[in-house]
Amino acid sequence: MKKYKILIIGGGTAGIMVAARLKRAEKNLQIGLIEPSDKHYYQPAWTLVGAGTFDMQKTIREEKNYIPKGVDWIKDAATAIDPETKTVNTAATGQIGYEYLVVAPGLVMNLDGIEGLRDSLGKEGVCSNYVDPEYTWEVLRNFKGGNAVFTQPATPIKCGGAPQKIMYLAEDYLRKNGLRNKSNVIFATPGTVIFGVKDFAKTLNKIIQERDIYFKPFYTPIKIDSKNKKIHFKYSQSGINSCVGTEDNRIKEEVVRDTEIVMPYDMLHLAPPQEAPKFIQQSKIAYQEGPSKGWVKVDINTLQHLDYPEIFALGDVAALPTAKTGAAIRKQAPVVVSNLLHLVKNNKLGEKIYEGYSSCPLVTGYGKMVLAEFKYDNVRDSDPILSKIFDTSKELYPMWLLKKYGLPYLYWNQMLRGKM
């Protein structure tokens, strides 16, 4: 059985960043990285792909070009983790041992988490930037009017702002193409507010009002009836939604049973329910009960596992009370690397702390973006340098340029190389 000093599960943003930083710090470290994919995707640009303003091919590169030199690429899928024997099982390679383990396989889409989703997705107007942003753009281009419904599940999702970003872009597209007066744009969410951080929510609420967008909180999607082009929601607030049954029911939603609302759609964009990979959920390293069930159990500041000190986790798979974004990983990776190296050298944890930083570049139209940066407890945490020049809680053209050109460049050339 092959054994590594440090074994990393996952060759996405988190795994590659950690591997690159480890190698830059200690070039002689023996590191293995388990990742089955040939391709590496820059998913933050998929919102722009879905709105026809970014080339999908430019979001895809060869994985081999980003595996750091000196790191063993185990081109295989992890299937089980046994923290007692310090081994990882794989689909084809067999068992691999480790002294220290970094868990970063990301999350997976659960297309069976909403009734009818698997059968309806990718056809007749049901689209998702999380799965196929090019089809989203096709749906938007062919949209002739009616209900454009944008929604998300009650599960945690990566980039929690993405379902509303494409909604703002679609609304802007319809306006620019003379279709807005024939269209109802609806954002339905299980959440209670448009955004959790007050400064940014204030801007977004103003946008929703000014652009005549229907905002539907407490709406959890439970079923897609593609034959009749209707989506069913469970309404989680007691009482009846004030928009239903009023004279201004232009979107033709109706209440069936006590808490179920049915809404017709002509375009439906949604984020599928998301979860940790099954081998994580079934492992002892995941929470077995409670609100974080299935996600990796780590200290939210040190990112060290709470039961197995030789294990660290970061990225989408970690049970952290913050948004699952690439920006969060950019702040998590240095903490994991610093604390892990300190543990390797001194047999005790380093003092580097992660405070929950994440960011959501909220594209609110073509050429407009709000840069929402925050940390644990929904506290605003804007970049000190940017904040001196811009009020990032407002819609700004320079932030759009950052999203479209700056961030992809930094991702491929700095983040994945362990330089930032």
**pLDDT for 268-318, tens place per residue?**
999 999 999 999 999 999 999 999 999 999 999 999 999 999 999 999 999
Tell me if residue 63 falls in helix, strand or coil. helix
The gap from C-alpha 77 to its chain's centroid, in whole angstroms, comes to 21
Instruction: Please tell me the pTM assigned to this model.
Output: 0.95
Quick check: is 368 in a domain? no
Domain boundary among 358, 379, 394: 358
Domain boundary among 325, 358, 391: 358
Are residues 245 and 348 both part of a single domain?
Answer: no
Note the pLDDT of residue 258: 82
Distance, in Å, from the CA atom of 3 to the CA atom of 377, rounded to the nearest integer, reads 40
Are residues 250 and 352 both part of a single domain?
Answer: no
Which residue reads 């994919």 in tokens? 37
> What average pLDDT does range 23-32 have in this prediction?
96
Question: Would the pLDDT of 152 be above 80?
Answer: yes
Share of the chain above pLDDT 90, in %: 92
Domain boundary among 358, 390, 414: 358
Beta bridge partners of 6: 31, 100
One-letter amino acid at 404 equals K
Are residues 8 and 152 both part of a single domain?
Answer: no
Note the pLDDT of residue 238: 54
Are residues 176 and 165 both part of a single domain?
Answer: yes
Question: Would the pLDDT of 242 be above 70?
Answer: no
Listed in sequence order, the residues at least 6 apart from 197 whose beta carbon sits closer than 8 Å to its beta carbon are 372, 374, 378, 379, 380
Q: Active-site residue among 360, 362, 363, 399? A: 360
> What average pLDDT does range 305-333 have in this prediction?
97
Note the pLDDT of residue 257: 83
Quick check: is 417 in a domain? no
Instruction: Tell me the CATH number at 19.
Output: 3.50.50.60
Q: Per-residue b/e over 315-343, b at no fewer than 16 CB within 10 Å?
A: bbbbbbebbbbbbbbbbbbbbbbbbbbeb
Distance, in Å, from the CA atom of 140 to the CA atom of 170, rounded to the nearest integer, reads 7
pLDDT in tens, 31-79: 999 999 999 999 999 999 999 999 999 999 999 999 999 999 999 999 9
Are residues 239 and 252 both part of a single domain?
Answer: yes
Are residues 267 and 122 both part of a single domain?
Answer: yes
Question: Would the pLDDT of 237 be above 80?
Answer: no
Tell me if residue 120 falls in helix, strand or coil. helix
Torsion angle defined by CA atoms of residues 132, 135, 136 and 141, in that order, rounded to the nearest 10 degrees = 160
Token code pair at residue 132: 């196929």
Angle CA 133–135–138, to nearest 5: 120
> What average pLDDT does range 117-140 have in this prediction?
98
pLDDT in tens, 349-385: 999 999 999 999 999 999 999 999 999 999 999 888 8
Where in the sequence is the domain holding 300, given as residue range(s)?
2-107+276-358
Are residues 268 and 283 both part of a single domain?
Answer: no
Are residues 331 and 257 both part of a single domain?
Answer: no
Distance, in Å, from the CA atom of 44 to the CA atom of 140, rounded to the nearest integer, reads 19
Write out the DSSP string of 127-187.
E-TTT-HHHHHHHHHH--SEEEEEE--SS--BSTTHHHHHHHHHHHHHHHTT-GGGEEEEE
Quick check: is 414 in a domain? no
How are beta strands 230-235 and 260-264 bridged, if at all?
A: antiparallel
Quick check: is 200 in a domain? yes
Write out the DSSP string of 353-402.
-----EEEEEEEETTEEEEEEEEGGGEE---HHHHHH--TTS-BHHHHHI
* Residue 127 among the catalytic residues: no
Are residues 129 and 87 both part of a single domain?
Answer: no
Residue 34 Cα distances to 79, 81, 96, 238, angstroms: 11, 12, 10, 47
Are residues 58 and 182 both part of a single domain?
Answer: no
Band (pLDDT 50/70/90 cuts) for residue 248 is: low
Q: Active-site residue among 19, 159, 399, 416? A: 159
Token code pair at residue 244: 């239903």
Quick check: is 225 in a domain? yes
Beta bridge partners of 262: 232, 254
Are residues 247 and 158 both part of a single domain?
Answer: yes
Quick check: is 159 in a domain? yes
Quick check: is 406 in a domain? no
Mean pLDDT score of the chain = 95
Residue 263 Cα distances to 118, 163, 301, angstroms: 19, 18, 42
Question: Would the pLDDT of 404 be above 90?
Answer: yes
Are residues 264 and 145 both part of a single domain?
Answer: yes
Quick check: is 400 in a domain? no
> Count of domains in the chain?
2
